[in-house]
Amino acid sequence: MQELLDRNLIESFLEEHDLRQIFIDTLKPYLGIYRFEQGELVCSQGGPSEYLYVLVKGKIKIFTTSPEGRTLILSFRTPLEIIGDIEYIQDRDIINTVEAISPAIFLGIHYRWLRKYAENHAPFLRFMLGIITEKFHANSHAANFNLMYPVEVRLASYLLSVSFDESSAGFAGELNTNELADAANLIGTSYRHMNRVIHKFREAGLVERKKGYVRIIDRQGLQGVASRNIYE
């Protein structure tokens, strides 16, 4: 994580995402701006939660781990997304793990300043209520709903999500072959089965697999397999 010491950039993102009424003047001195590189964890499930983060650029992956150690993707998110909102309201540790899929930029503010200056600020409270209710609605169905799709759809959706970020034209990610076992776990299938599906995609001319990576070569064709991206 890198803190960007640029107040003008903060003002620019507040304007771009219509957040000026949410983060009022008393909060602005305590707002920071942070950059996370591709693959860097923003927060880890079970860890202490101290900051509210607002994703203003880039793409993140949100996943959860069960008590048995099984992980599962909940979603990929782009701006505007909030990290730490439920934890702030419930005063609890971090619920899910969040990872930057492309270089990501967040506005961030420590909870103590929100409690001091925003707990009675109606626009902030309405903003948080809207974000949290939408998040509960989406997450309550995500894990079981996604597993209803065949592995071909889940893998196609996963590859599309980790390989492209519409807000960053220069980003064209690849799935490192060292990450295949984790990817299989995250989409809820076996490593062997996922390899069979990747082979099937290769034969169809959708992806190429070379030493070290899997790369999409027919995005439109893979979107046809996914039908709709179930993770976004």
Q: What is the CATH number of the domain that holds 55?
A: 2.60.120.10
Phi–psi pair at 73, nearest 5 degrees:
-65, 135
Q: Residue 208: beta bridge partners?
A: 215
Q: Which structural domain range is residue 73 located in?
A: 2-146
- Number of structural domains, the chain? 2
Note whether residue 120 is domain-resident. Answer: yes
Note whether residue 232 is domain-resident. Answer: no
Structure tokens at 173: 């990610």
- Provide the whole-model pTM: 0.87
Q: In this structure, are 66 and 139 located in the same domain? A: yes
Contact 84, 52 (CB under 8 A): yes
What is the average per-residue pLDDT within 10-24? Answer: 96
Q: Count the neighbouring beta carbons within 10 Å of the beta carbon of residue 132.
A: 16
**180 by DSSP, 3-state: which?**
helix
pLDDT tier, 185 (very low <50, low <70, confident <90, very high otherwise)? confident
Q: Count the neighbouring beta carbons within 10 Å of the beta carbon of residue 57.
A: 18
The CA distance from 72 to 64, in Å, is 6
Contact 142, 134 (CB under 8 A): no
Q: In this structure, are 126 and 56 located in the same domain? A: yes
Please name the amino acid found at residue 232.
E
User: Of 100, 124, 146, which one is at a domain's C-terminal end?
Assistant: 146
- Does residue 166 carry a pLDDT above 80? no
Quote the percentage of the chain above a pLDDT of 70: 96
Would you say the C-alpha torsion 26, 28, 32, 38 has a positive or negative sign? positive
